[in-house]
Structure 1
Protein backbone atom coordinates (compact mmCIF):
# COMPACT_ATOMS: atom_id res chain seq x y z
CA UNK A 1 0.00 0.00 0.00
CA UNK A 2 3.03 2.25 0.08
CA UNK A 3 3.08 4.80 -2.72
CA UNK A 4 5.87 4.12 -5.20
CA UNK A 5 8.05 6.74 -6.84
CA UNK A 6 6.37 5.88 -10.13
CA UNK A 7 2.97 6.50 -8.61
CA UNK A 8 4.10 9.81 -7.12
CA UNK A 9 5.46 10.91 -10.49
CA UNK A 10 2.16 9.96 -12.10
CA UNK A 11 0.30 12.20 -9.66
CA UNK A 12 2.61 15.10 -10.42
CA UNK A 13 2.09 14.73 -14.17
CA UNK A 14 -1.67 15.08 -14.09
CA UNK A 15 -2.65 18.08 -16.15
CA UNK A 16 -5.49 20.42 -17.00
CA UNK A 17 -8.58 20.52 -14.81
CA UNK A 18 -7.73 17.19 -13.22
CA UNK A 19 -4.69 18.43 -11.30
CA UNK A 20 -6.29 21.39 -9.56
CA UNK A 21 -4.14 23.50 -7.28
CA UNK A 22 -1.02 21.37 -7.87
CA UNK A 23 -0.78 22.73 -11.40
CA UNK A 24 0.64 26.00 -10.08
CA UNK A 25 3.75 24.17 -8.96
CA UNK A 26 4.05 21.26 -11.35
CA UNK A 27 2.78 22.13 -14.82
CA UNK A 28 5.04 24.16 -17.07
CA UNK A 29 3.19 26.32 -19.60
CA UNK A 30 5.16 28.38 -22.09
CA UNK A 31 4.98 32.14 -21.73
CA UNK A 32 3.96 32.36 -25.38
CA UNK A 33 0.86 30.21 -24.77
CA UNK A 34 -0.10 32.16 -21.67
CA UNK A 35 0.38 35.52 -23.40
CA UNK A 36 -1.73 34.40 -26.36
CA UNK A 37 -4.66 33.47 -24.11
CA UNK A 38 -4.29 36.67 -22.12
CA UNK A 39 -4.61 38.71 -25.32
CA UNK A 40 -7.65 36.76 -26.46
CA UNK A 41 -9.29 37.06 -23.05
CA UNK A 42 -8.67 40.80 -22.81
CA UNK A 43 -10.27 41.33 -26.22
CA UNK A 44 -13.18 39.05 -25.28
CA UNK A 45 -13.77 40.94 -22.04
CA UNK A 46 -13.81 44.27 -23.85
CA UNK A 47 -16.19 42.95 -26.52
CA UNK A 48 -18.52 41.36 -23.98
CA UNK A 49 -18.79 44.67 -22.13
CA UNK A 50 -19.40 46.52 -25.40
CA UNK A 51 -22.33 44.26 -26.31
CA UNK A 52 -23.97 44.33 -22.90
CA UNK A 53 -27.07 46.46 -22.56
CA UNK A 54 -26.62 49.01 -19.81
CA UNK A 55 -29.60 48.65 -17.49
CA UNK A 56 -30.26 49.14 -13.83
CA UNK A 57 -29.85 45.76 -12.17
CA UNK A 58 -29.66 44.28 -8.72
CA UNK A 59 -27.02 41.81 -9.91
CA UNK A 60 -23.70 42.52 -8.14
CA UNK A 61 -20.93 43.59 -10.55
CA UNK A 62 -18.79 40.58 -9.70
CA UNK A 63 -21.61 38.18 -10.61
CA UNK A 64 -22.40 40.14 -13.79
CA UNK A 65 -18.81 39.98 -15.04
CA UNK A 66 -18.65 36.28 -14.18
CA UNK A 67 -21.72 35.69 -16.35
CA UNK A 68 -19.98 37.52 -19.20
CA UNK A 69 -16.86 35.43 -18.66
CA UNK A 70 -18.81 32.19 -18.93
CA UNK A 71 -20.48 33.24 -22.16
CA UNK A 72 -17.01 33.39 -23.68
CA UNK A 73 -15.24 30.67 -21.71
CA UNK A 74 -17.80 28.00 -22.62
CA UNK A 75 -16.65 28.35 -26.23
CA UNK A 76 -12.97 27.70 -25.44
CA UNK A 77 -12.84 25.53 -22.31
CA UNK A 78 -11.15 23.70 -20.76
CA UNK A 79 -7.91 25.54 -20.10
CA UNK A 80 -5.13 24.40 -17.74
CA UNK A 81 -5.49 26.28 -14.46
CA UNK A 82 -2.37 28.40 -14.91
CA UNK A 83 -3.75 29.63 -18.24
CA UNK A 84 -7.30 29.85 -16.92
CA UNK A 85 -6.48 32.29 -14.13
CA UNK A 86 -4.18 34.40 -16.30
CA UNK A 87 -6.89 34.63 -18.97
CA UNK A 88 -9.68 35.34 -16.46
CA UNK A 89 -7.65 38.18 -14.95
CA UNK A 90 -7.17 39.78 -18.36
CA UNK A 91 -10.86 39.27 -19.18
CA UNK A 92 -11.73 41.29 -16.06
CA UNK A 93 -9.26 43.96 -17.15
CA UNK A 94 -10.69 44.14 -20.67
CA UNK A 95 -14.26 44.24 -19.38
CA UNK A 96 -13.33 47.00 -16.94
CA UNK A 97 -11.70 49.03 -19.70
CA UNK A 98 -15.05 49.40 -21.48
CA UNK A 99 -17.59 49.11 -18.66
CA UNK A 100 -15.79 51.02 -15.94
CA UNK A 101 -16.56 48.21 -13.48
CA UNK A 102 -13.42 47.73 -11.39
CA UNK A 103 -13.10 44.40 -9.61
CA UNK A 104 -9.47 44.50 -8.49
CA UNK A 105 -7.91 41.05 -8.21
CA UNK A 106 -11.18 39.19 -8.77
CA UNK A 107 -11.12 35.45 -9.47
CA UNK A 108 -13.78 34.21 -11.90
CA UNK A 109 -15.56 30.87 -11.71
CA UNK A 110 -16.16 28.51 -14.67
CA UNK A 111 -19.87 28.17 -13.87
CA UNK A 112 -23.10 30.14 -14.05
CA UNK A 113 -24.58 28.17 -11.18
CA UNK A 114 -25.21 29.81 -7.82
CA UNK A 115 -22.34 29.09 -5.43
CA UNK A 116 -22.37 29.33 -1.63
CA UNK A 117 -19.37 29.25 0.69
CA UNK A 118 -20.15 27.72 4.09
CA UNK A 119 -17.60 28.49 6.78
CA UNK A 120 -17.39 27.10 10.31
CA UNK A 121 -16.02 29.55 12.86
CA UNK A 122 -14.98 29.13 16.47
CA UNK A 123 -12.49 31.66 17.87
CA UNK A 124 -10.83 32.47 14.53
CA UNK A 125 -10.03 36.18 14.98
CA UNK A 126 -6.44 35.63 13.82
CA UNK A 127 -7.40 34.17 10.45
CA UNK A 128 -10.93 35.30 9.61
CA UNK A 129 -9.93 38.54 7.84
CA UNK A 130 -7.53 36.70 5.53
CA UNK A 131 -10.25 34.18 4.75
CA UNK A 132 -12.77 36.94 4.00
CA UNK A 133 -10.30 38.64 1.67
CA UNK A 134 -10.11 35.48 -0.44
CA UNK A 135 -13.85 34.81 -0.43
CA UNK A 136 -14.56 38.39 -1.52
CA UNK A 137 -12.44 37.78 -4.63
CA UNK A 138 -14.93 35.15 -5.82
CA UNK A 139 -18.36 35.79 -7.45
CA UNK A 140 -20.23 33.98 -4.70
CA UNK A 141 -23.99 34.25 -4.37
CA UNK A 142 -23.94 33.41 -0.67
CA UNK A 143 -21.39 33.39 2.13
CA UNK A 144 -22.69 31.68 5.25
CA UNK A 145 -20.71 31.78 8.47
CA UNK A 146 -21.76 29.43 11.26
CA UNK A 147 -20.19 31.00 14.34
CA UNK A 148 -20.50 28.73 17.35
CA UNK A 149 -18.98 28.70 20.80
CA UNK A 150 -16.77 31.72 20.05
CA UNK A 151 -15.51 33.81 22.94
CA UNK A 152 -13.33 36.15 20.87
CA UNK A 153 -14.20 38.90 18.36
CA UNK A 154 -14.85 36.57 15.39
CA UNK A 155 -18.54 37.46 15.11
CA UNK A 156 -17.94 41.22 15.22
CA UNK A 157 -15.10 41.00 12.71
CA UNK A 158 -17.24 39.13 10.19
CA UNK A 159 -20.19 41.47 10.69
CA UNK A 160 -18.01 44.55 10.19
CA UNK A 161 -16.08 43.24 7.17
CA UNK A 162 -18.71 41.39 5.19
CA UNK A 163 -22.36 41.26 4.12
CA UNK A 164 -22.32 37.53 4.74
CA UNK A 165 -25.11 35.61 6.42
CA UNK A 166 -24.06 34.89 10.00
CA UNK A 167 -25.64 32.10 12.01
CA UNK A 168 -24.57 32.64 15.61
CA UNK A 169 -24.74 30.06 18.38
CA UNK A 170 -23.35 30.99 21.78
CA UNK A 171 -22.75 27.34 22.57
CA UNK A 172 -20.36 25.10 20.67
CA UNK A 173 -22.30 22.90 18.26
CA UNK A 174 -19.72 20.15 18.11
CA UNK A 175 -17.58 18.98 15.23
CA UNK A 176 -19.17 19.47 11.76
CA UNK A 177 -22.70 20.20 13.01
CA UNK A 178 -22.35 23.75 11.71
CA UNK A 179 -21.56 22.36 8.28
CA UNK A 180 -24.93 20.60 8.20
CA UNK A 181 -26.68 23.79 9.40
CA UNK A 182 -25.07 25.89 6.66
CA UNK A 183 -25.85 23.34 3.96
CA UNK A 184 -29.51 23.29 4.92
CA UNK A 185 -29.76 27.08 4.93
CA UNK A 186 -28.03 27.64 1.59
CA UNK A 187 -30.12 28.37 -1.52
CA UNK A 188 -27.26 27.88 -3.98
CA UNK A 189 -26.73 24.95 -6.34
CA UNK A 190 -23.08 24.41 -5.39
CA UNK A 191 -21.90 24.34 -1.77
CA UNK A 192 -18.25 25.04 -0.93
CA UNK A 193 -17.20 24.05 2.60
CA UNK A 194 -14.38 25.77 4.51
CA UNK A 195 -13.09 26.19 8.04
CA UNK A 196 -12.42 29.63 9.49
CA UNK A 197 -8.94 28.72 10.69
CA UNK A 198 -7.54 27.84 7.24
CA UNK A 199 -7.45 30.75 4.75
CA UNK A 200 -7.08 29.37 1.23
CA UNK A 201 -6.25 31.28 -1.93
CA UNK A 202 -9.33 31.92 -4.05
CA UNK A 203 -7.55 30.42 -7.07
CA UNK A 204 -7.16 27.11 -5.23
CA UNK A 205 -10.89 26.88 -4.53
CA UNK A 206 -11.92 27.11 -8.18
CA UNK A 207 -11.14 23.46 -9.17
CA UNK A 208 -13.58 22.13 -6.56
CA UNK A 209 -16.40 24.27 -7.94
CA UNK A 210 -15.43 23.35 -11.49
CA UNK A 211 -15.61 19.63 -10.63
CA UNK A 212 -19.25 20.06 -9.63
CA UNK A 213 -19.89 22.09 -12.77
CA UNK A 214 -18.44 19.19 -14.79
CA UNK A 215 -20.85 16.69 -13.26
CA UNK A 216 -19.44 15.50 -9.95
CA UNK A 217 -21.71 15.36 -6.92
CA UNK A 218 -18.88 15.74 -4.39
CA UNK A 219 -15.37 17.11 -4.93
CA UNK A 220 -12.92 16.18 -2.17
CA UNK A 221 -9.55 17.69 -1.32
CA UNK A 222 -6.85 15.29 -2.52
CA UNK A 223 -4.64 15.18 0.58
CA UNK A 224 -2.60 12.24 -0.72
CA UNK A 225 0.51 14.30 -1.59
CA UNK A 226 0.69 15.61 1.98
CA UNK A 227 0.33 12.45 4.10
CA UNK A 228 3.45 10.51 3.17
CA UNK A 229 4.07 6.78 3.15
CA UNK A 230 1.48 4.40 4.59
CA UNK A 231 3.86 3.14 7.29
CA UNK A 232 4.14 6.67 8.70
CA UNK A 233 0.44 7.50 8.78
CA UNK A 234 -1.60 8.00 11.93
CA UNK A 235 -4.66 6.01 12.91
CA UNK A 236 -7.05 8.64 11.59
CA UNK A 237 -5.56 8.55 8.08
CA UNK A 238 -5.49 4.75 8.04
CA UNK A 239 -9.15 4.43 8.99
CA UNK A 240 -10.14 6.99 6.33
CA UNK A 241 -8.52 4.86 3.64
CA UNK A 242 -10.04 1.67 5.06
CA UNK A 243 -13.53 3.14 4.75
CA UNK A 244 -12.96 4.00 1.08
CA UNK A 245 -11.55 0.53 0.36
CA UNK A 246 -14.48 -1.06 2.15
CA UNK A 247 -16.81 0.76 -0.23
CA UNK A 248 -14.82 -0.38 -3.26
CA UNK A 249 -13.23 3.04 -3.84
CA UNK A 250 -9.54 2.43 -3.23
CA UNK A 251 -8.87 5.19 -5.77
CA UNK A 252 -10.05 7.76 -3.21
CA UNK A 253 -7.21 6.70 -0.90
CA UNK A 254 -7.51 8.64 2.40
CA UNK A 255 -9.55 11.47 0.91
CA UNK A 256 -12.58 12.28 2.97
CA UNK A 257 -15.36 14.74 3.71
CA UNK A 258 -13.53 15.36 6.99
CA UNK A 259 -11.05 17.56 5.11
CA UNK A 260 -11.67 21.02 3.68
CA UNK A 261 -12.00 22.47 1.18
CA UNK A 262 -14.59 20.33 -0.51
CA UNK A 263 -17.62 21.08 -2.65
CA UNK A 264 -20.98 19.42 -3.08
CA UNK A 265 -24.12 19.78 -5.11
CA UNK A 266 -27.01 21.04 -3.02
CA UNK A 267 -29.05 18.14 -4.34
CA UNK A 268 -26.37 15.71 -3.15
CA UNK A 269 -26.62 17.15 0.37
CA UNK A 270 -30.37 16.55 0.25
CA UNK A 271 -29.89 12.96 -0.90
CA UNK A 272 -27.36 12.25 1.85
CA UNK A 273 -29.49 13.99 4.48
CA UNK A 274 -28.42 17.18 6.20
CA UNK A 275 -28.18 15.52 9.62
CA UNK A 276 -25.72 12.95 8.22
CA UNK A 277 -23.35 15.74 7.15
CA UNK A 278 -22.59 16.14 10.86
CA UNK A 279 -20.69 12.84 10.64
CA UNK A 280 -18.58 13.25 7.46
CA UNK A 281 -17.42 9.60 7.06
CA UNK A 282 -21.00 8.39 7.42
CA UNK A 283 -22.12 10.99 4.86
CA UNK A 284 -19.42 9.76 2.48
CA UNK A 285 -20.50 6.12 2.88
CA UNK A 286 -24.12 7.06 2.19
CA UNK A 287 -23.08 9.10 -0.85
CA UNK A 288 -21.13 6.15 -2.27
CA UNK A 289 -23.95 3.73 -1.55
CA UNK A 290 -26.39 6.05 -3.31
CA UNK A 291 -24.16 6.05 -6.38
CA UNK A 292 -23.19 9.71 -6.17
CA UNK A 293 -20.18 10.71 -8.25
CA UNK A 294 -17.22 11.51 -5.98
CA UNK A 295 -13.73 12.56 -7.03
CA UNK A 296 -10.77 14.49 -5.69
CA UNK A 297 -9.90 17.07 -8.38
CA UNK A 298 -7.35 19.22 -6.56
CA UNK A 299 -4.81 19.21 -3.74
CA UNK A 300 -4.67 21.96 -1.13
CA UNK A 301 -2.27 21.63 1.78
CA UNK A 302 -4.38 21.83 4.92
CA UNK A 303 -2.29 19.22 6.74
CA UNK A 304 0.84 21.22 7.53
CA UNK A 305 -1.22 24.41 7.90
CA UNK A 306 -3.71 22.93 10.34
CA UNK A 307 -3.99 25.11 13.42
CA UNK A 308 -2.71 23.32 16.51
CA UNK A 309 -5.04 23.36 19.48
CA UNK A 310 -4.93 21.60 22.83
CA UNK A 311 -7.55 19.11 21.68
CA UNK A 312 -5.93 18.07 18.37
CA UNK A 313 -2.29 17.32 19.26
CA UNK A 314 -0.78 14.18 20.71
CA UNK A 315 -1.22 10.50 19.96
CA UNK A 316 -4.64 10.18 21.57
CA UNK A 317 -6.15 13.64 21.35
CA UNK A 318 -9.85 14.42 21.55
CA UNK A 319 -10.26 15.33 17.87
CA UNK A 320 -8.52 12.14 16.67
CA UNK A 321 -10.70 10.05 18.98
CA UNK A 322 -13.79 11.84 17.67
CA UNK A 323 -12.85 11.26 14.03
CA UNK A 324 -12.06 7.60 14.63
CA UNK A 325 -15.41 7.28 16.40
CA UNK A 326 -17.08 8.87 13.38
CA UNK A 327 -15.46 6.24 11.17
CA UNK A 328 -16.63 3.45 13.45
CA UNK A 329 -20.14 4.83 13.07
CA UNK A 330 -19.58 4.92 9.31
CA UNK A 331 -18.36 1.31 9.39
CA UNK A 332 -21.60 0.30 11.10
CA UNK A 333 -23.42 1.89 8.17
CA UNK A 334 -21.19 -0.01 5.72
CA UNK A 335 -21.90 -3.30 7.51
CA UNK A 336 -25.61 -2.60 7.31
CA UNK A 337 -25.29 -1.94 3.57
CA UNK A 338 -22.77 -4.56 2.45
CA UNK A 339 -22.94 -7.27 5.12
CA UNK A 340 -20.32 -8.48 7.62
CA UNK A 341 -17.54 -8.98 5.03
CA UNK A 342 -18.05 -5.58 3.39
CA UNK A 343 -16.81 -5.79 -0.22
CA UNK A 344 -14.33 -8.61 0.52
CA UNK A 345 -15.95 -11.82 -0.77
CA UNK A 346 -15.30 -15.31 0.64
CA UNK A 347 -15.06 -17.54 -2.43
CA UNK A 348 -13.12 -20.39 -0.80
CA UNK A 349 -15.08 -21.78 2.15
CA UNK A 350 -18.00 -24.12 1.54
CA UNK A 351 -19.83 -22.94 4.63
CA UNK A 352 -23.06 -24.72 3.84
CA UNK A 353 -21.39 -28.07 4.59
CA UNK A 354 -20.99 -27.07 8.23
CA UNK A 355 -24.71 -26.66 8.73
CA UNK A 356 -26.35 -29.69 10.31
Structure 2
Protein backbone atom coordinates (compact mmCIF):
# COMPACT_ATOMS: atom_id res chain seq x y z
CA UNK A 1 0.00 0.00 0.00
CA UNK A 2 1.29 3.44 -0.92
CA UNK A 3 -0.11 6.51 0.81
CA UNK A 4 -0.30 9.97 -0.74
CA UNK A 5 -1.37 12.39 1.99
CA UNK A 6 -2.61 15.88 1.32
CA UNK A 7 -1.59 18.60 3.75
CA UNK A 8 -3.64 18.62 6.99
CA UNK A 9 -3.73 21.07 9.90
CA UNK A 10 -1.41 19.77 12.62
CA UNK A 11 -2.93 18.73 15.92
CA UNK A 12 -6.50 18.54 14.63
CA UNK A 13 -8.83 15.57 14.32
CA UNK A 14 -11.65 15.39 11.80
CA UNK A 15 -15.25 15.05 12.88
CA UNK A 16 -16.17 13.27 9.64
CA UNK A 17 -14.18 10.81 7.56
CA UNK A 18 -15.49 10.26 4.04
CA UNK A 19 -14.25 6.98 2.56
CA UNK A 20 -14.23 6.60 -1.23
CA UNK A 21 -13.05 3.48 -3.09
CA UNK A 22 -12.18 4.33 -6.69
CA UNK A 23 -10.88 2.51 -9.73
CA UNK A 24 -10.05 4.46 -12.91
CA UNK A 25 -12.22 7.45 -12.01
CA UNK A 26 -9.80 10.26 -12.90
CA UNK A 27 -12.49 12.19 -14.79
CA UNK A 28 -14.94 12.07 -11.88
CA UNK A 29 -13.01 11.79 -8.62
CA UNK A 30 -12.30 15.51 -8.13
CA UNK A 31 -16.04 16.26 -8.26
CA UNK A 32 -16.79 13.39 -5.87
CA UNK A 33 -14.20 14.74 -3.42
CA UNK A 34 -15.48 18.31 -3.70
CA UNK A 35 -18.97 17.23 -2.62
CA UNK A 36 -17.55 15.00 0.12
CA UNK A 37 -15.50 17.80 1.63
CA UNK A 38 -18.62 19.99 1.83
CA UNK A 39 -20.56 17.70 4.19
CA UNK A 40 -18.98 19.21 7.32
CA UNK A 41 -16.50 21.96 8.10
CA UNK A 42 -14.12 19.45 9.71
CA UNK A 43 -13.84 16.59 7.22
CA UNK A 44 -11.11 14.30 5.99
CA UNK A 45 -11.53 12.48 2.67
CA UNK A 46 -9.85 9.11 2.16
CA UNK A 47 -9.64 7.74 -1.38
CA UNK A 48 -8.74 4.09 -1.95
CA UNK A 49 -7.25 4.04 -5.45
CA UNK A 50 -7.20 0.34 -6.23
CA UNK A 51 -6.05 -1.30 -9.42
CA UNK A 52 -6.00 2.02 -11.29
CA UNK A 53 -4.37 2.27 -14.69
CA UNK A 54 -5.05 6.01 -14.93
CA UNK A 55 -4.10 8.96 -12.70
CA UNK A 56 -7.00 8.71 -10.24
CA UNK A 57 -4.60 8.78 -7.28
CA UNK A 58 -2.80 11.92 -8.43
CA UNK A 59 -6.08 13.73 -9.12
CA UNK A 60 -7.43 12.70 -5.71
CA UNK A 61 -4.31 13.94 -3.92
CA UNK A 62 -4.43 17.23 -5.81
CA UNK A 63 -8.07 17.61 -4.72
CA UNK A 64 -7.01 17.36 -1.08
CA UNK A 65 -7.75 13.71 -0.29
CA UNK A 66 -5.64 11.29 1.69
CA UNK A 67 -4.97 8.74 -1.02
CA UNK A 68 -4.13 5.09 -0.43
CA UNK A 69 -2.89 3.27 -3.53
CA UNK A 70 -3.06 -0.44 -4.25
CA UNK A 71 -1.73 -2.03 -7.46
CA UNK A 72 -4.48 -4.68 -7.61
CA UNK A 73 -8.26 -4.17 -7.55
CA UNK A 74 -9.68 -4.49 -4.05
CA UNK A 75 -13.36 -4.10 -4.79
CA UNK A 76 -15.50 -1.43 -3.15
CA UNK A 77 -16.23 -3.37 0.03
CA UNK A 78 -12.64 -4.26 0.88
CA UNK A 79 -11.70 -0.66 0.10
CA UNK A 80 -14.28 0.57 2.61
CA UNK A 81 -12.91 -1.80 5.22
CA UNK A 82 -9.36 -0.50 4.77
CA UNK A 83 -10.53 3.10 4.66
CA UNK A 84 -12.45 2.65 7.90
CA UNK A 85 -9.36 1.23 9.56
CA UNK A 86 -7.38 4.33 8.60
CA UNK A 87 -10.13 6.87 9.36
CA UNK A 88 -9.83 9.27 12.31
CA UNK A 89 -13.32 10.78 12.32
CA UNK A 90 -16.13 10.23 14.80
CA UNK A 91 -18.50 9.78 11.87
CA UNK A 92 -17.59 7.60 8.89
CA UNK A 93 -19.43 8.28 5.63
CA UNK A 94 -19.11 5.80 2.77
CA UNK A 95 -19.60 6.73 -0.88
CA UNK A 96 -18.20 5.47 -4.19
CA UNK A 97 -15.86 7.10 -6.66
CA UNK A 98 -18.01 6.30 -9.68
CA UNK A 99 -20.92 8.65 -8.91
CA UNK A 100 -21.14 12.29 -7.88
CA UNK A 101 -23.61 12.74 -5.02
CA UNK A 102 -24.29 16.33 -3.99
CA UNK A 103 -23.31 17.35 -0.46
CA UNK A 104 -26.94 18.21 0.31
CA UNK A 105 -27.76 14.51 -0.14
CA UNK A 106 -24.81 13.39 1.97
CA UNK A 107 -25.36 15.65 4.97
CA UNK A 108 -28.51 13.81 6.20
CA UNK A 109 -26.37 10.74 6.95
CA UNK A 110 -23.83 12.80 8.87
CA UNK A 111 -26.57 14.60 10.80
CA UNK A 112 -28.28 11.31 11.63
CA UNK A 113 -25.12 9.83 13.15
CA UNK A 114 -24.35 13.08 14.95
CA UNK A 115 -27.85 12.84 16.41
CA UNK A 116 -27.36 9.37 17.84
CA UNK A 117 -27.94 6.91 14.99
CA UNK A 118 -25.19 4.28 14.84
CA UNK A 119 -25.79 3.08 11.28
CA UNK A 120 -27.52 5.50 8.89
CA UNK A 121 -28.65 3.77 5.70
CA UNK A 122 -29.77 4.89 2.26
CA UNK A 123 -33.55 4.52 2.17
CA UNK A 124 -33.35 3.20 -1.40
CA UNK A 125 -34.72 -0.24 -2.20
CA UNK A 126 -34.38 -0.29 -5.97
CA UNK A 127 -37.12 -1.00 -8.54
CA UNK A 128 -39.28 -3.25 -6.35
CA UNK A 129 -42.32 -3.06 -8.63
CA UNK A 130 -40.63 -4.64 -11.63
CA UNK A 131 -41.46 -8.26 -12.32
CA UNK A 132 -39.58 -10.33 -11.50
CA UNK A 133 -38.02 -8.46 -8.60
CA UNK A 134 -34.23 -8.46 -8.79
CA UNK A 135 -32.64 -11.19 -6.68
CA UNK A 136 -30.36 -8.76 -4.86
CA UNK A 137 -33.39 -6.76 -3.73
CA UNK A 138 -35.06 -9.94 -2.51
CA UNK A 139 -31.91 -10.88 -0.60
CA UNK A 140 -31.86 -7.53 1.19
CA UNK A 141 -35.50 -7.85 2.20
CA UNK A 142 -34.97 -11.44 3.34
CA UNK A 143 -31.99 -10.59 5.54
CA UNK A 144 -33.76 -7.67 7.20
CA UNK A 145 -36.82 -9.85 7.82
CA UNK A 146 -34.69 -12.57 9.40
CA UNK A 147 -33.09 -9.93 11.62
CA UNK A 148 -36.53 -8.81 12.78
CA UNK A 149 -36.18 -5.48 10.96
CA UNK A 150 -38.89 -5.60 8.31
CA UNK A 151 -39.16 -1.84 8.76
CA UNK A 152 -35.83 -1.48 6.95
CA UNK A 153 -37.31 -3.16 3.87
CA UNK A 154 -34.40 -3.28 1.41
CA UNK A 155 -32.18 -0.68 3.07
CA UNK A 156 -28.68 -2.11 3.24
CA UNK A 157 -25.05 -1.36 3.98
CA UNK A 158 -24.43 -2.82 0.52
CA UNK A 159 -25.68 0.48 -0.90
CA UNK A 160 -24.10 3.92 -0.62
CA UNK A 161 -24.34 6.44 0.82
CA UNK A 162 -24.33 5.16 4.37
CA UNK A 163 -22.65 6.34 7.54
CA UNK A 164 -21.65 4.78 10.86
CA UNK A 165 -20.56 6.09 14.23
CA UNK A 166 -17.17 5.48 15.79
CA UNK A 167 -19.01 3.33 18.33
CA UNK A 168 -20.46 1.20 15.53
CA UNK A 169 -17.01 0.76 14.00
CA UNK A 170 -15.62 -0.43 17.32
CA UNK A 171 -18.48 -2.92 17.73
CA UNK A 172 -18.60 -4.18 14.14
CA UNK A 173 -14.83 -3.92 13.52
CA UNK A 174 -13.37 -2.64 10.27
CA UNK A 175 -12.72 -6.08 8.75
CA UNK A 176 -16.44 -6.94 8.97
CA UNK A 177 -17.19 -4.06 6.60
CA UNK A 178 -15.73 -6.09 3.73
CA UNK A 179 -19.02 -8.07 3.82
CA UNK A 180 -21.64 -5.30 4.20
CA UNK A 181 -24.73 -7.48 4.88
CA UNK A 182 -22.79 -9.31 7.59
CA UNK A 183 -21.74 -5.98 9.11
CA UNK A 184 -25.37 -4.90 9.11
CA UNK A 185 -26.42 -8.14 10.80
CA UNK A 186 -23.70 -7.67 13.42
CA UNK A 187 -24.85 -4.10 14.10
CA UNK A 188 -28.43 -5.18 14.63
CA UNK A 189 -27.45 -8.18 16.74
CA UNK A 190 -25.35 -5.90 18.94
CA UNK A 191 -28.33 -3.65 19.57
CA UNK A 192 -26.95 -0.66 17.69
CA UNK A 193 -29.40 1.90 16.34
CA UNK A 194 -29.84 1.19 12.63
CA UNK A 195 -32.13 3.38 10.54
CA UNK A 196 -32.82 4.30 6.92
CA UNK A 197 -32.51 8.09 7.02
CA UNK A 198 -32.51 9.52 3.51
CA UNK A 199 -33.14 8.34 -0.04
CA UNK A 200 -30.58 8.71 -2.81
CA UNK A 201 -31.53 6.94 -6.03
CA UNK A 202 -28.10 5.60 -6.85
CA UNK A 203 -29.52 3.50 -9.69
CA UNK A 204 -30.20 6.69 -11.63
CA UNK A 205 -26.85 8.23 -10.72
CA UNK A 206 -24.97 5.20 -11.99
CA UNK A 207 -27.11 3.37 -14.57
CA UNK A 208 -24.16 1.13 -15.49
CA UNK A 209 -24.98 -0.88 -12.39
CA UNK A 210 -28.55 -1.72 -13.30
CA UNK A 211 -28.56 -2.25 -17.06
CA UNK A 212 -27.88 -5.62 -18.60
CA UNK A 213 -25.62 -8.21 -17.02
CA UNK A 214 -24.51 -7.32 -13.51
CA UNK A 215 -21.20 -9.02 -12.65
CA UNK A 216 -21.58 -8.01 -9.00
CA UNK A 217 -24.86 -9.85 -8.50
CA UNK A 218 -23.29 -13.20 -7.57
CA UNK A 219 -20.90 -11.48 -5.16
CA UNK A 220 -23.69 -9.57 -3.41
CA UNK A 221 -25.91 -12.65 -3.18
CA UNK A 222 -22.99 -14.60 -1.74
CA UNK A 223 -22.44 -11.86 0.83
CA UNK A 224 -26.07 -12.15 1.91
CA UNK A 225 -25.79 -15.91 2.22
CA UNK A 226 -22.71 -15.41 4.39
CA UNK A 227 -24.65 -12.94 6.52
CA UNK A 228 -27.57 -15.37 6.91
CA UNK A 229 -25.15 -18.13 7.87
CA UNK A 230 -23.60 -15.82 10.48
CA UNK A 231 -27.03 -15.02 11.95
CA UNK A 232 -27.76 -18.75 12.25
CA UNK A 233 -24.50 -19.30 14.13
CA UNK A 234 -25.53 -16.55 16.54
CA UNK A 235 -29.18 -17.53 16.98
CA UNK A 236 -29.32 -21.24 16.22
CA UNK A 237 -30.61 -23.20 13.23
CA UNK A 238 -33.99 -21.48 13.24
CA UNK A 239 -32.43 -18.04 13.28
CA UNK A 240 -34.24 -17.16 16.50
CA UNK A 241 -37.69 -18.03 15.21
CA UNK A 242 -39.98 -20.35 17.16
CA UNK A 243 -41.71 -23.52 15.98
CA UNK A 244 -45.12 -22.55 17.34
CA UNK A 245 -46.91 -22.53 13.98
CA UNK A 246 -45.39 -25.73 12.68
CA UNK A 247 -47.89 -28.55 12.14
CA UNK A 248 -45.73 -31.39 10.86
CA UNK A 249 -47.90 -33.93 12.66
CA UNK A 250 -50.74 -33.24 10.23
CA UNK A 251 -48.74 -34.41 7.23
CA UNK A 252 -49.96 -37.71 5.85
CA UNK A 253 -47.46 -39.79 3.97
CA UNK A 254 -49.00 -41.99 1.33
CA UNK A 255 -46.97 -44.69 -0.38
TM-score by length of 2: 0.86
Unaligned runs of 5+ in 2: 1-8, 250-255
- Work out whether 1:184 is the aligned partner of 2:81: no
SS at match of 1:326: helix
How far apart, in 2, do the equivalents of 1:230 and 1:249 lie?
Answer: 23
Match of 1:134 in 2: 35
**Between 330-339 and 253-262, the greater mean CA deviation after superposition:** 330-339
Partner of 2:241: 344
Determine the C-alpha separation between the residues in 2 that align with 1:244 and 1:255: 8
**Equivalent in the alignment of 1:235:** 135
1:248 and 1:343 in contact (8 A); partners too? no
Cα contact 1:117–1:140 (8 A) shared by 2: no
Aligned to 1:4: none
Once the two structures are superposed, what CA deviation does each residue of 1:262-308 show, in whole Å capped at 9, x if it has no partner?
00012211211211100000111111111110001100110122252
Change (3 A) 1:349 1:129: closer
1:128 is displaced (CA, Å) by: 1.1
SS of the equivalent of 2:121 reads strand
CA RMSD of aligned residues (A): 2.4
Q: 1:210, 1:196 → 2: CA distance?
A: 22
Evaluate the alpha carbon distance shift between residue 206 and residue 306 of structure 1 in structure 2; reply closer, same or farther with a 3 A threshold.
Answer: same
> 1:131 offset after TM fit, Å?
1.1
Return the offset for 1:334: 1.2
Instruction: Find the aligned partners of 1:320 and 1:120 in 2 and give their Cα distance.
Output: 19
- For the structure 1 residues 189 and 166, does the alpha-carbon distance in structure 2 shift closer, same or farther, using more than 3 Å as the test? same
Moved over 6 A (4+): none
Match of 1:284 among 158, 166, 184: 184
Separation in 2, partners of 1:119, 1:177:
11
Q: Which consecutive unaligned segments of at least 5 residues does structure 1 have?
A: 1-57, 64-111
Correspondence list, 1:254-273, <5 A? 254-273=154-173
For 1:212 and 1:348, locate their aligned partners in 2 and report how far apart those are by CA, in whole Å: 39
Query: Is 1:146 equivalent to 2:146 in the alignment?
Result: no
Aligned to 1:314: 212
Contact 1:122 1:196 in 2 (8 A): yes
How many residues of Structure 1 are paired with residues of Structure 2 in the alignment? 240
Higher RCO, 1 vs 2 (CA within 8 Å, ≥6 residues apart) = 2
Question: CA shift at 1:137, angstroms?
Answer: 2.7
Residue deviations 1:3-48 (CA, integer Å, cap 9, x gap): xxxxxxxxxxxxxxxxxxxxxxxxxxxxxxxxxxxxxxxxxxxxxx
Aligned match of 1:171 = 72
Aligned in 2, Cα 1:349/1:256: closer, same or farther, shift over 3 Å? closer
Alignment partners' CA distance in 2, 1:140 and 1:113: 5
Q: Distance in 2 between matches of 1:234 and 1:264?
A: 27
Residues 183, 266 of structure 1: 8 Å contact kept? no
Cα displacement (A) at 1:343: 4.1
Q: CA deviation at 1:204?
A: 0.9
- Contact 1:116 1:191 survives alignment (8 Å): yes
1:31-110 aligned within 5 A: none
